[in-house]
Amino acid sequence: MHVFRCIRESCGAAYPLAENIHTCPRCGGLLDVEYAFDREAAAQWPALWSGRRASLRKLDSSGVWRFRELIPFISEPESAELVATLGEGNTPLLDSAAAAGFAGLDAIRFKHQGFNPTGSFKDNGMTCGVTRARALGMRLVGCVSTGNTSASMAAYASYAGLVPVVFIPHGEIALGKLAQALEYGAVTFQVEANFDQILRLIFRMAESLGLYLLNSVNPFRLEGQKTIMAELLEQCGWREPDWIVLPGGNLGNVSAFGKGLRELRDLGLIRRLPRLAVIQAEGAAPLCRMMESAAAELRPVERPQTLATAIKIGAPVSWPKAVRELRASGGVCVAVSEQEIADAKAVIGRAGIGCEPASAATLAGARKLRAAGVVGPDQDVVAILTGHLLKDPDYILRYHAGELECGGRPLESRLANRPRIVAAEAAALEAALREATGDRLTAGG
Ligand SMILES: *Cc1c(COP(=O)(O)O)cnc(C)c1O
Ligand SMILES: [Zn+2]
């Protein structure tokens, strides 16, 4: 039997999946979706999954539902009209010698979740969250968001015929994400409080409002996100990387990855767990502080500060799950500065890959872990780029204009690339072009 299981060791209560709950009714703890997998059948799954890549069926074209044996929370998804999919997942694994050199590694690969329908990994989770909302017969869905969750929820809910309502911190959301929520038809509230404050408020009100909450405390979103690990392992030919590096905000993604990897190991599909490295911004690093001080509880950061808005979170909801996964995998948490994020982001951009600021924290973190000797130069490192470059055009334009600052402190734009103004005249244009490209052509790049 598949059940909800409270993750608190002192509780461990189980509940039927038919119940509409997000947290443990008995103790308030976080819930896992726990499956009774058929371990013997699992040996055949990798062949089944790769076979589906040749299929044109809608469910098989999704990079989440292609792995549906790992997320059996609705029965017979094949025949169900319930599944809300926009063809999420199926994201590439990209390498860059320049980025590897920047980090001091022989190689690094980027799993780019920005290639999703709405441009972030939130889509991998949202397809499951919205499908679950439909299965429960809910019409109104809501989330509090630093941006990408609202963009994703708005798209999936509208596509599925549900009504999306998003609550975002006033003035603290990247432009591309707000634009998406509006265009995808979400009822949008800009609330005058920070993310953590709004979440507490909405969490209390959701039930009386008839609102199905799709924040990352919703365990079904994490079920979708965990399939990113199945897709990655498939791309690696089921050879485990040494490290998986990802940014940490609310810590849902690291929780999902850890659970997904443990399940793959328990099913015998991988032998060992890759080590997870969570990267936070220095101004919003409550998990790093907790791990450093070996504290038993997470102390929220009151006024989180970072330009990487997707990880600007002081009181991450999923911290107990994140700690569990870091312990299980021998993982680490490190904090990086705004300058380190800006530098890494520019390197990823110039490699032709590009990502939003929070995603670039991964390369900055890999570099730091390498410098500290935690990661060896020849280790197999996969960094998760969580969001698309165009999510935050304002950051990019300011960077290249040399105008980026955080908390009143200016940042250096070491790879600034400014547009050049030129007269509409052949000779002038030719001279300007030669001057601008000469170095890059002689450098062979
Ligand atoms: C949501 C998000 C994060 C943070 O993920 P968590 O699961 O909250 O830790 C990082 N980067 C991007 C682009 C995101 O959208
Ligand atoms: Zn409990």
**Ligand 1 center from residue 146 Cα (angstroms):** 9
Q: Nearest bound ligand to CA 385?
A: 1
Give the pLDDT confidence score for residue 444 in this predicted structure: 56
pLDDT tens, position by position, 235-280: 999 999 999 999 999 999 999 999 999 999 999 999 999 999 999 9
**Ligand 1 center from residue 43 Cα (angstroms):** 32
**Ligand 1 center from residue 254 Cα (angstroms):** 9
Residues in the chain: 445
Give the pLDDT confidence score for residue 445 in this predicted structure: 47
Return the domain boundaries, the chain: 93-116+220-410
pLDDT at residue 54 greater than cutoff 70: yes
**CA gap 358, 350 in Å, rounded:** 17
Of 309, 319, 331, 263, which is closest to residue 286 (Cα–Cα)?
Answer: 319
Residue 428 in contact with residue 422, Cβ under 8 Å? yes
Helices (H), 64-209: 97-103, 122-135, 148-159, 175-183, 195-209
**Ligand 2 center from residue 217 Cα (angstroms):** 14
- What does the mean pLDDT of the chain come to? 95
pLDDT grade for 233, boundaries at 50, 70 and 90: very high
Give the pLDDT confidence score for residue 244 in this predicted structure: 98
**Ligand 1 center from residue 186 Cα (angstroms):** 20
Q: Nearest bound ligand to CA 11?
A: 2
For every residue of 403-437, DSSP letters joined together read --EETTEE---TT--------S-HHHHHHHHHHHH
Percent of the chain with pLDDT over 70: 99
pLDDT grade for 9, boundaries at 50, 70 and 90: very high
Give the pLDDT confidence score for residue 336 in this predicted structure: 98
Q: Nearest bound ligand to CA 10?
A: 2
**Ligand 1 center from residue 248 Cα (angstroms):** 6
167 - beta bridge partners? 144, 189
pLDDT at residue 226 greater than cutoff 70: yes
Which class is 93-116+220-410 in CATH? alpha beta
Q: Give the range among 8-12, 83-87, 105-109, 170-174 with minimum mean pLDDT.
A: 170-174
**CA gap 317, 146 in Å, rounded:** 14
pLDDT grade for 80, boundaries at 50, 70 and 90: low
Q: Look at the block and give the residue holding tokens 């038993």.
A: 296
Assess whether the C-beta atom of 253 lies below 6 angstroms from ligand 1: yes
Assess whether the C-beta atom of 218 lies below 6 angstroms from ligand 1: no
pLDDT at residue 304 greater than cutoff 90: yes
Q: Which of 91, 113, 118, 120 to mutate to test the pocket of ligand 1 (most atoms within 8 A of CB)?
A: 120
Assess whether the C-beta atom of 255 lies below 6 angstroms from ligand 1: no
Assess whether the C-beta atom of 358 lies below 6 angstroms from ligand 1: yes
Assess whether the C-beta atom of 119 lies below 6 angstroms from ligand 1: no
Residue 212 Cα distances to 130, 217, 385, angstroms: 9, 12, 28
Give the pLDDT confidence score for residue 81 in this predicted structure: 83
